[in-house]
Amino acid sequence: MRPRFFSVEFVPILAPSVNRVFWRTNLRIRGMFIRVNDFTLANGMEIKVRKRRKHVKYTRKRISRPQPAQGLSSKAMSKLSGSNKRQRGSNSGLVTIRASKITPKKIDWLREGVIPSGRVMGIVGHPGQGKSLLITDLAAAVSRRRPWPTESARGKGGWVIMLSAEDDPRDTTVPRLIAVDADLDRIVFLTAFRESNGAKRLVSLGTDLMRIGRKIKAMNEKGRRVRLVTIDPIGAYLGDGNHRIARNDAAQVRGLIDQIGAFAAEYRLAVMFVLHRPKKSSGGALAQMAGSYEFFAGPRMNLLVVGEANTDSHLLVLSKHNLRSGGIAYRYRIKVKKIGNGIKAPYVEFEQASIAISADEALAAESGKGASRPTKPDAQAWLLGVLATRPMRRKSVMKLGARAGFSTRQLRTAREALGVTTTKSHVGSQTEWALPRQCKRKS
């Protein structure tokens, strides 16, 4: 069934990107206005119109390409093209610059050689290894303008904005900040975003980054210079619903990391996010990110938390180092401090000397597969040094070995490899360990 009355009108639309005019076709059928999708009319175009209330019947009409006189004159067309070019801008195109015109500049460091300013970087580790404690320790150092993590890494001081989705500031984060002597007046928690209807929701990095920027700009104008923004963990701030960023989607994650990087560069601050390592992590440092590979590839520097086998210490390793040389790690331990009112808070304590070890070597040592440059002496070498002068009781050896970070099994394996003998002076006495040459001297 065909409609009895219809009219066709053509509306010219300029597309500067391809330098031609497209025609939007509007179709009027019995007073009803129906818009057909934009297209370029060829010699003939078939338009399909679906009638209302009749979802199975269609009307087709053949339309010839209109001439300028039918729709728009040549003069009017050129006028339209010129006006649109002025609106779109005549300087569109590729932007280039000669290398000789670029003035080199030094990297701006928040903490010399460790935390770059104007960049985004991540800290990655398993749960329980102190990632959040490292974040609070860094925030305290920035608020007090203290070096971090060692005395050699000096830097700037200022205000800190913290996004923490897993810990309650009242009973967890603030006590931790007090334990490391932070300036609480210079640390601000960004807890939620309030909608126009009064409802609160978690901040989304995909939609609220501009709002955070306006807040930082307002703080800077009041003399409250923001130097650091921490996100713990980043997976909690990827949004929800239709605006959620899929953590395993490389394109979406890379786009987010690029946006955060531009945000950090615009406001000249450092952005540090926390990310968990996968439950079953294997391979090198590049495979230690839970989610898309772009969490690692996007930032210019990353820090990896690695546990040391048979000890209570951990290593903070530079796992990606595009802005400086790598092979550096910092050893720390988690301790507890009383801050008053019966409250105890954990904190991290760094050793002042850095360690020459790469991220892959630290991971190999953590997994028990060995490393080319171990972070502590070999068990055999240690046992040989302990027994070099005189025999020693077994219990004493085990006690000293535990302090040095060796397990009972490691010490027994070292004893068998060295041929250490076990003797008793009399019945009921304690067992003594001695090197073979010491046994010969006794005889």
* Neighbouring C-beta atoms of residue 10, cutoff 10 Å: 15
Residues 151 and 207 in one domain: yes
At 407 the pLDDT is 80
Residue 229, CB-side half-sphere exposure with 13 Å CA sphere: 22
Residues 311 and 399 in one domain: no
CB 231 within 8 A of CB 264: no
Is omega for the bond preceding 377 within 30 degrees of 0, making it cis? Answer: no
Q: Is residue 124 situated within a structural domain?
A: yes
pLDDT (tens digit, 9 = 90+) per residue, 239-261? 887 778 888 888 899 999 999 99
Residues 357 and 402 in one domain: no
Residues 206 and 342 in one domain: yes
pLDDT (tens digit, 9 = 90+) per residue, 406-434? 788 888 888 888 888 888 766 666 788 88
Q: Is residue 1 situated within a structural domain?
A: no
Residues 388 and 269 in one domain: no
Residues 387 and 357 in one domain: no
Which of 317, 333, 367 represents a domain boundary (last residue)?
367
Q: Is residue 304 situated within a structural domain?
A: yes
At 334 the pLDDT is 94
Residues 255 and 302 in one domain: yes
Give the pTM. 0.63
Residues 248 and 125 in one domain: yes
Q: What is the CATH number of the domain that holds 359?
A: 3.40.50.300
The two tokens of residue 164 are 């923490």
SS3 content of the chain, % helix, strand, coil (to 5): 35, 30, 40
User: In the chain, what's the furthest Cα-to-Cα distance?
Assistant: 124
pLDDT (tens digit, 9 = 90+) per residue, 70-115? 444 555 445 444 544 444 555 788 999 999 999 999 999 999 989 9
Residue 330, CB-side half-sphere exposure with 13 Å CA sphere: 19
CB 330 within 8 A of CB 362: no
Q: Is residue 67 situated within a structural domain?
A: yes
Residue range of the domain that includes 161:
109-367
Which amino acid does the sequence have at 67?
Q
User: What's the chain's length in residues?
Assistant: 443
Residues 81 and 206 in one domain: no
Residues 359 and 425 in one domain: no
**Complete DSSP assignment for 270-326:** EEEEEEEPPTT--SSGGG--SS-THHHHSSSEEEEEEEPTTSSEEEEEEEEETTS--
Paired sense of beta strands 392-393 and 432-434, if any: antiparallel
Per-residue pLDDT at 55 exceeds 70: no
- Residue 219 — very low, low, confident or very high, per pLDDT cuts 50/70/90? very high
Residues 119 and 268 in one domain: yes
Per-residue pLDDT at 18 exceeds 70: no
Q: Is residue 82 situated within a structural domain?
A: yes
Residues 113 and 80 in one domain: no
Domains: count for the chain? 3
From CA 398, how far away is CA 101, in angstroms rounded?
66
Which of 342, 367, 392 represents a domain boundary (last residue)?
367
Per-residue pLDDT at 140 exceeds 90: yes
